Chain A
Amino acid sequence: MIMHIDKIHLLGAIFSFVILAAVFVLVRERHLKEKYSLVWFLIGLFILVMSIFEGLIDWFGDLIGVYYAPSAFFALLIACAYLLLLNMSVSISHLKTHNKALTQELGLTKLRLEELEKKVNGSADD
């Protein structure tokens, strides 16, 4: 029983290190913006802390009145995942808005360019 718990905690610690290292590398290589990395660092740290301090999950389970402590942990993680997804939807919405404005502006600018080219070519012929 003790061995089993130790294993899962070890796995959790390894997993959190992988997350933290991956986020670190992604930010350094400019694949991930610092702004978005913050929340991932926090999640990595959260899992790390949870796996190092074994009593934390039980304490948290007691706190919110859940008898089976690990399910409290899952509930917490799912809540975090939801918030993260909401955050992503907001980011995508912003991107869509910007993308739409840029697309329109590009279309209108191309038209202006066409007009200008016509005008320049026209006056060159005179």
Chain B
Amino acid sequence: MENGKTLIVIPAYNEQNNILGVIGDIRANLPDADILVVNDCSVDATAKMARQAAGVQVVDLPCNLGIGGAVQTGFKYARDRGYDYMVQIDGDGQHLPREVSKLAAAMAATGSDMVIGSRFLDVRSFRTSWQRRIGINIFRRLFRMLLGLTITDGTSGFRLYNRRSIEVLARFYPSDYPEPDAIVLLHKHGLAIAEVGVAMRARESGHSSITALKSPYYMAKVTLSIILSCSRTRW
């Protein structure tokens, strides 16, 4: 990441209270990176707040696409404008910009195409609900079984991508709950994936997109798409 243009993509949906804090935090820790806010058709003042920050690019999506569609907009932007690296930092303030250097160091050390910031590799592990833990464990086994990869935090969206990953994911990126599926996608394209332990913050405001009611659906959908992606031979 030392030599090369880096884009920070902030997918944001109704994050008017968090967005400026997140941008400020990125500026303080990563002064050389460009910032793109993808406003996923928020109904609050997210876009207006983001535009107050100088030098930040804001894409306003005319329809709500969900996290996958929003992040893919970032991949397309990064691809079209020749960025070498892209980092996803969520608009809710959960991902810490100061931890990006760990992702970059892991990418340099392992030569991988994508580095996932994992909440479960580090000692100061992020506290999460037991339901989510069960889900993450199931994914861990699935990745082990289907790909032979050890991924401790397949649902983490805090990731660093290089140019090769950007080009693949600009073309194919799942619409909803994309993170676990994207691992399979990159692996099937022959790209290398690494993980590094990072700290994350509990959300400042707003709610997780995965509610108790939606989590069985989430598990079923993601498991299905992981298995289907594995069986796919033509892209």
* Total number of B residues with any Cβ neighbor in A under 8 Å: 16
Check if B69 sits within 8 Å of A104, measured CB to CB. Answer: yes
Interface string of B52-96 (1 = CB under 8 A from A): 000001111111010001001100110010000000000000000
Task: Output the least CB separation between B72 and chain A (Å).
Answer: 6
Q: Does B125 make an interface contact (CB < 8 A)?
A: no
Q: Does A79 contact B (CB under 8 A)?
A: no
Interface assignment of A76: CB less than 8 Å from any CB of chain B: no
Is there a chain B Cβ closer than 8 Å to A107's Cβ? yes
- Tell me whether A107 and B175 are in contact (CB under 8 A): no
Interface assignment of B169: CB less than 8 Å from any CB of chain A: no
Residue among B58, B69, B72, B175 having the largest count of chain A Cβ atoms under 10 Å: B69
A residues within 8 A CB of B175?
96, 100
- Interface hits, A90-126 → B, CB 8 Å: 96, 99-100, 103-108, 110-111
Chief secondary structure at chain B's binding surface = mixed
Residue B9 at the A interface, CB < 8 A?
A: no
Spell out A's residues near B (CB within 8 Å): 96, 99-100, 103-108, 110-111
Number of A-B contacts (CB under 8 A): 38
Residues of chain B within 8 A (CB-CB) of A99 are 63
Alpha-carbon distance between A76 and B215 when the two chains are bound, in angstroms: 37
Chain A to chain B: the 6 pairs with minimum beta-carbon distance, closest first: A107-B59, A107-B61, A104-B73, A103-B63, A111-B59, A100-B69
| B69-A103 in contact (CB<8A) | yes
**Nearest-CB distance from A73 to chain B (Å)?**
35
Measured CB to CB, the closest approach of chain A to B92, in angstroms, equals 20
Question: Out of A96, A106, A111, which one reaches B62, CB within 8 Å?
Answer: A106
Q: Are B80's CB and A108's CB within 8 A? A: yes
